Structure 1
């Protein structure tokens, strides 16, 4: 894959950041977790204006988590963050979005990304991303959105490029290796999602407003 500057989406870098979270060890380190969403915003930008609302939301949430991370070592891991905020009864504060609430929104987005990448990897070269994205959205993020948002997403995804055009935008040099890497990234993302999902279930935090 060719590097073309700071705004170039780097699938290999994303895979590396996934590994740094240490999800395989049952941990989720906050620094690489936050950084991987910085990388994912580049992917969303490649997909066009349809994902503009996701980009702005991710950027806002990443900024909030970065501030928490700088201020307190209790935010070094997702486990530590949730234990701390639950103990201090901070998860549903009104004056400032808690880290638990903020990360929950990113967590839901990661479910979509992992599903989407898995489907891109399995799709044919000329497949339309519109149908792939709509199906991935319905399986993941849609359950958290009201009807009007779901309807808007289904209309907007028709502007997405084909699978072939997306890989061209990613400046892929070796399609076979990229397809293999997409599968690995999807699998790694699912592992991270599962660890965090279990933590939110343990603390009963899935319905934070």
Structure 2
């Protein structure tokens, strides 16, 4: 009994350590671990089609009692791209909300890491909310002064010692956190991004999410591939490890890479993933995952171009 307790304590300490490293090292310490767990198999009760006008697209099934819904993920991903080269932040972050549910569905070990991912989406949302409140306050103050001038009366309002500087920052853009490019432009113009040292900014946080998104896209793409002629479908744990090595591993320390590769051994088998996307066969899974991978690819490429144009792919 004493040995078992010590083993359990060691596992808990390792998980807490990995969670801490993830938090303070950002998403570039993404381990992507997975844990086997039992979920009763449910039959689909309804069918939804996202962008059904696209030729050859298969209907997406919705399973009851499941928080993660691939139809919702696809809908958010499809609504994120705007104009020809930008991405709206709200649907982008909503896509991450759904991906977090996907990771949480894989078990408590992944839940620890998904919480750190969620903390990154919270950073951007908090910055956007703060910017919006400051912009609203500035507009109200401007309106008060304008009304006072119209009546010949100047209505004073309190200003903090740095209010002049803040108003100057707000004057250059009222849509700072509407899209990825508007966020980059606003934070660059207002000196919120440091290329030499760590700072809390939407751009730096976006880069960590961006790197994790590439890993998830690569992993889902491999899961959707058919078995080679005369061969067998790859094990999810192997695919997870291989895609990790191609993507996130280069941003991690040696210790984190070794810990990640050990964690992948707990990856569920394929039938579990079929349940998550509400399909029953590899052929059905391939169709659904292909749609998701292509939608992620569109968002990823636009984000990559925007970050690269501003030399932000290596922010500390």
Question: TM-score w.r.t. structure 2 length?
Answer: 0.61
Structure 1 or 2, whichever has the larger Rg, is 2
Task: State the shift of 1:126 in Å.
Answer: 5.8
Write out aligned runs for 1:48-197 (5 A). 48-72=107-131, 73-92=175-194, 97-124=200-227, 127-172=234-279, 176-197=283-304
Q: Residue 206 of structure 1 aligns to a residue in which SS?
A: coil
CA change 1:164–1:153 in 2 (3 A) is same
List gaps (5 residues or longer) in structure 1: none
Task: State the shift of 1:56 in Å.
Answer: 1.8
Q: Which moved more, 1:173-182 or 1:66-75?
A: 173-182
Q: Which moved more, 1:17-26 or 1:155-164?
A: 17-26
Name the counterpart of 1:207. Answer: 314
Q: Which moved more, 1:17-26 or 1:105-114?
A: 17-26
Q: Give the helix-richer structure, 1 or 2.
A: 1
Q: Distance in 1 between matches of 2:233 and 2:119?
A: 34
Deviations 1:68-105 (A, max 9, x none): 22233310000000011111110139896101111111
CA change 1:48–1:185 in 2 (3 A) is same
Name the counterpart of 1:33. Answer: 92
Structure 2 residue 64 is the aligned partner of structure 1 residue 4: yes
Q: Residues 46 and 166 of structure 1 are in contact (CA less than 8 Å); yes or no, is this contact kept in structure 2?
A: no
List gaps (5 residues or longer) in structure 2: 1-60, 132-174
Question: TM-score w.r.t. structure 1 length?
Answer: 0.89
Over aligned residues, Cα RMSD in angstroms? 2.3
Q: Residue 116 of structure 1 aligns to a residue in which SS?
A: helix
CA change 1:48–1:127 in 2 (3 A) is farther
Q: Distance in 1 between matches of 2:198 and 2:206?
A: 17
Name the counterpart of 2:10. Answer: none
Q: Residue 268 of structure 2 aligns to a residue in which SS?
A: coil
Q: Distance in 1 between matches of 2:253 and 2:129?
A: 34
Number of residues of Structure 1 aligned to a counterpart in Structure 2:
208
